[in-house]
């Protein structure tokens, strides 16, 4: 494949759209466990996760750091706590990833390892249900005194792991630990108890998962109560409060929120929790707040990579349109959070604008967080490097490696959603899945070269003909596409970014979708001072970058003519297989793939060649 395209500049001016998100969820995702991924881009990543990422996490948790020893010590009630006060959460997040991996690749040895960990976790639980190795080993008398100490955050991650493991294996030992911890929390806090504002959100969305799996509405109610604790001045974070309430999203009641503030990952988990509670309560005020927040995040505070959080100082948000490249924080966890949150927003409305952001954050901001081998991680994801920024196997604060460990094997979650009469295809990757259409079982098969080329073939198998809609997402980056059913051109109206193919489907029907995928130069919103006079290169869902390994001469002086022409070519042996983009004197690689070779400089936004501007 070798083609030449002349690029055109597009202005990335993102417009506000109306508030049409109110109400209960329109659609339900097809779970990753129902989807069997067989894809030239993703299958290798899932293999590396199974073989390398999980192994790194186990080794770090058991041998290189004291994370598992903390549980052993807490069970004995003696010994020191080592590491950070929220290190338990990494054990839980890795365990959640292991549970997902088991669903993709059954593995008795890995399951035995999970059971061993769960025994140790369970042994560290106090008789009243409380569980947290930091306070157990440093003084239980001080528990529940500092809202920034992540006790509920750790409980939330334990709950997500427990639900994942229960769904993967049917084993409920860890789930019972979580139920006892949740009941303990509800015996201390709540309308009849003490007030509490979790300094790091996470428990809210986890309690909704606990509600889903137990059917106990009290957990949903507690999640809603915790959300409504915020923004009333109840928060108290340690003796010497380093951060104001705005850092914790505790400045404004959740229903009145309209601007993202503070710590980026906390904000993402809060918005997910708001969406999850609203999905069951039908709370339109929460949804309206989420709509306002989405506009503010995406149109003023998001990088082209789908990453958020401009500053290392607060691991979060600074000011609108302040998007520095070299010092961009863009924590991997925040990009994963963007996927989680946009996926939830999509389910309320079926609006492709959420899937577009989900895809952007997935393929760029989040995927950059893990090496091609799956054994090294980025915590911070700048859009420019002077050569000193590299992936590491682990971090003192290891939230990002454990985040990627749980996120990657669950990518199958984001491909399909079902609604009353429609099957929605949100992401394109090769897979087979058992789904329903208009309540009837259907087997769907997707094959595609995405993200390297825009051809997608969908096949449907069913016992009886089924009347219903297949809704295929037309990504916002795509300006031209063709659509055919059984080889015949098919005119389908596009509603909110989805082509609606409404017909009676027969066994063996096929759909062929071809997206034009030219190389494009992208200009930032002119209010982003850092990117004035610069362009980024994008093709399909992928943002590209220049890396010194490909451009060794005069890297700092490289510029891009405004009328640049581009070629692109699939290189199977380069960086595990990429489409490389070239323009005279410049070689671009996908941003996610940088820092997998010799260390060097990198940049996403490239200055325009001075004498070519406005030609
Ligand atoms: O505080 C827990 C996690 O550690 C946060 O989500 C990350 O930003 C890192 O600070
Ligand atoms: Zn992180």
Q: What is the reported pLDDT for 242?
A: 78
With respect to residue 497, please indicate whether it lies within any of the assigned structural domains: yes
200 Cβ inside 6 Å of ligand 1? yes
Residue 566 lies in a domain: yes
Same domain, 528 and 505: no
The response to whether residue 333 sits with its C-beta less than 6 Å from ligand 1 reads yes
Which ligand has an atom closest to residue 263 CA?
A: 1
Q: Given the structure tokens 């059954």, which residue do they identify? A: 106
Helices 173-188 and 151-169: crossing angle, nearest 10°?
150
Q: Minimal CA–CA distance to 168: which of 106, 230, 248, 214?
A: 106
Q: Choose one of 515, 534, 550: the last residue of a domain.
A: 515
- Ligand nearest to the backbone CA of 314: 1
Whole-structure pTM value: 0.96
User: Do 431 and 475 sit in the same domain of this protein?
Assistant: yes
What tens digit of pLDDT does each residue of 209-231 get?
Answer: 999 999 999 999 999 999 999 99
For residue 394, give both structure tokens.
């682990």
- How far apart CA 253 and CA 127 sit, in angstroms, is 35
Which protein residue's CA is at the shortest distance from atom 3 of ligand 1? Answer: 399
CA distance 139 to 182: 21
Atom of ligand 1 nearest to the CA of 331: 8
Q: How far is the CA of 201 from the centre of ligand 1 (A)?
A: 10
Measured in degrees and rounded to the nearest 5, phi and psi for residue 426 equal -90, -40
Mutational test site, ligand 1, from 265, 329, 330, max ligand atoms within 8 Å of CB? 265
The residues near 132 (Cβ < 8 Å, ≥ 6 apart) are 88, 143, 151, 154, 155
The confidence band for 612, taking pLDDT boundaries of 50, 70 and 90, is confident
Residue 333 known to be catalytic: no
Q: What is the pLDDT of residues 241-275, one digit of tens each?
A: 679 999 999 999 999 999 999 999 999 999 999 99
499 shares its domain with 583: no
HEC string of 145-188?
A: CCCCCCHHHHHHHHHHHHHHHHHHHCCCHHHHHHHHHHHHHHHH
CA–CA separation, 380 and 316 (whole Å) = 11
> pLDDT tens across 185-216, in order?
999 999 999 999 999 999 999 999 999 999 99
- 527 in the same domain as 501: no
Q: Which of 114, 333, 399, 417 is catalytic?
A: 399
Ligand 1 in reach of 86 Cβ (< 6 A): yes
Residue 477: inside a domain, yes or no?
yes
Residues in the chain: 615
554: CB partners within 8 A, 6+ apart = none
What distance in angstroms lies between residue 397's CA and the mean position of ligand 2's atoms? 8
460 within some domain: yes
**Residue 524 and residue 509 in one domain:** no
> Is the domain of 525 the same as that of 494?
no
The percent of residues above 90 in pLDDT, for the chain, comes to: 94
Within a domain: 578: yes
Q: Give domain status of residue 389, yes or no.
A: no
Q: Which two tokens stand for residue 507?
A: 């066994």
Whether residue 299 is predicted with pLDDT greater than 70 in this model: the reply is: yes
C-alpha distances in Å from residue 99, one per residue of 54, 92, 95, 168, 263: 11, 10, 6, 6, 28
Q: Are residues 525 and 477 in the same domain?
A: no
Ligand 1 in contact with 397 (CB < 6 A)?
yes
Q: Is the pLDDT of residue 522 over 60?
A: yes
Same domain, 557 and 484: no
Q: What is the pLDDT of residue 580?
A: 98
* One domain, residues 523 and 601: yes
* Distance separating alpha carbons of residues 232 and 179, to the nearest angstrom: 28
Is 257 inside any structural domain?
no
- 134 part of a folded domain: no
**Selected catalytic residue, list 315, 359, 384, 562:** 315
Name the percent of the chain lying above pLDDT 70.
95
5 touches 566 (CB < 8 A): yes
Q: How many CB atoms lie within 10 A of CB 1?
A: 9
Domain shared by 532 and 511, yes or no: no
C-alpha of residue 335 to centroid of ligand 2, in Å: 9
**Mean pLDDT of the residues in the chain:** 94
Pocket test for ligand 1, best of 331, 332, 379 (most atoms within 8 A of CB): 331
Q: Residue 153 CA: which ligand 1 atom is closest?
A: 2
| Confidence at 240, pLDDT banded by 50, 70, 90 | low
Q: State the pLDDT at residue 15.
A: 27
| Domain co-membership, 430 together with 511 | yes
Q: Return the minimum-mean-pLDDT range out of 20-24, 178-182, 379-383, 385-389.
A: 20-24
Which residue range forms the structural domain that includes residue 585? 519-612
Domain finish residue from 481, 515, 549: 515
Domain boundary among 470, 486, 515: 515
444: CATH? 2.60.420.10
pLDDT band for position 611 (cuts 50, 70, 90): confident
Total structural domains in the chain? 2
- Does one domain contain both 432 and 496? yes
Beta strand pairing call for 28-29 and 9-11 = unpaired
């Amino acid at each position: 494949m070798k083609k030449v395209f002349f690029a055109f500049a597009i202005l990335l001016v993102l417009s506000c759209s109306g508030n049409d998100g109110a109400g209960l969820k329109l659609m339900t995702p097809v779970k990753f466990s129902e989807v069997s991924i067989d894809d030239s881009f993703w299958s290798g990543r899932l293999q590396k996760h199974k073989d390398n990422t999980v192994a790194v996490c186990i080794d770090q948790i058991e041998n290189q750091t004291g994370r598992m020893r903390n549980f052993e010590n807490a069970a004995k009630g003696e010994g020191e706590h080592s590491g950070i006060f929220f290190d338990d959460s990494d054990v839980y997040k890795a365990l959640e990833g292991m549970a997902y991996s088991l669903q993709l690749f059954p593995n008795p040895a890995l399951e035995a390892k999970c059971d061993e960990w769960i025994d140790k976790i369970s042994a560290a639980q106090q008789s009243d249900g409380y569980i947290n190795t930091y306070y157990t080993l440093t003084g239980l008398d001080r528990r529940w005194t500092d809202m920034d100490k992540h006790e509920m955050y750790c409980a939330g991650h334990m709950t997500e792991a427990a639900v994942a493991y229960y769904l993967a294996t049917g084993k409920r030992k860890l789930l019972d630990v979580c139920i006892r911890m949740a009941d303990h929390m509800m015996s201390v806090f709540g309308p009849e108890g003490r007030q509490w504002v979790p300094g790091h959100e996470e428990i809210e969305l986890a309690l909704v998962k606990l509600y889903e799996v137990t059917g106990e509405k009290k957990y949903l109610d507690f999640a809603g109560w915790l959300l409504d604790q915020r923004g009333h001045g109840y928060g108290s974070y340690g003796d010497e409060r380093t951060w104001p309430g705005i850092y914790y999203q505790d400045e404004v009641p959740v229903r009145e929120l309209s601007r993202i503030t503070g710590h980026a990952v906390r904000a993402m988990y809060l918005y997910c929790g708001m969406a999850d509670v609203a999905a069951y309560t039908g709370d339109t005020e929460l949804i309206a707040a989420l709509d306002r927040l989405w506009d503010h995040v995406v149109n003023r505070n998001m990088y082209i990579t789908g990453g958020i959080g401009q500053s290392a100082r607060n691991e979060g948000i600074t000011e609108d349109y302040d998007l520095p490249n070299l010092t961009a924080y863009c924590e991997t966890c925040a990009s994963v959070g963007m996927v989680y949150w946009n996926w939830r927003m999509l389910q309320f409305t079926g609006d492709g604008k959420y899937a577009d952001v989900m895809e952007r954050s997935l393929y760029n901001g989040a995927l950059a967080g893990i090496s091609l081998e799956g054994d090294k991680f980025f915590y911070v994801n700048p859009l420019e490097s002077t050569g000193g920024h590299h992936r590491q196997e682990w971090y003192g604060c290891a939230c990002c490696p454990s985040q990627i460990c749980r996120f990657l094997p669950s990518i199958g979650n984001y491909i399909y959603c079902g609604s009353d009469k429609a099957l929605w295809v949100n992401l394109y990757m090769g897979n087979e899945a058992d789904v329903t259409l208009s309540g009837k079982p259907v087997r769907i098969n997707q094959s595609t070269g995405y993200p390297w080329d825009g051809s997608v073939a969908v096949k449907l198998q069913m016992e009886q003909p089924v009347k219903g809609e297949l809704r295929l997402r037309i990504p916002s980056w795509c300006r031209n596409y063709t659509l055919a059913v059984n080889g015949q051109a098919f005119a389908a109206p596009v509603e909110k970014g989805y082509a609606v193919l409404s017909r009676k489907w027969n066994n063996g029907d096929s759909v062929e979708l071809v997206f034009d995928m030219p190389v494009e130069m992208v200009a930032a919103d002119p209010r982003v001072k850092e990117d004035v006079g610069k362009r980024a290169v994008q093709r399909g869902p992928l943002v590209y970058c220049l890396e010194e390994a490909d451009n060794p001469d005069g890297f700092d002086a490289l510029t891009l003519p405004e009328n640049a022409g581009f070629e692109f070519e699939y290189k199977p042996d380069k960086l595990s297989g990429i489409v490389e983009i070239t323009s005279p004197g410049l070689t671009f690689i996908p941003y996610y793939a940088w820092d997998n070779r010799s260390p060097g400089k990198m940049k996403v936004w490239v200055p325009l060649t001075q004498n070519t501007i406005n030609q």
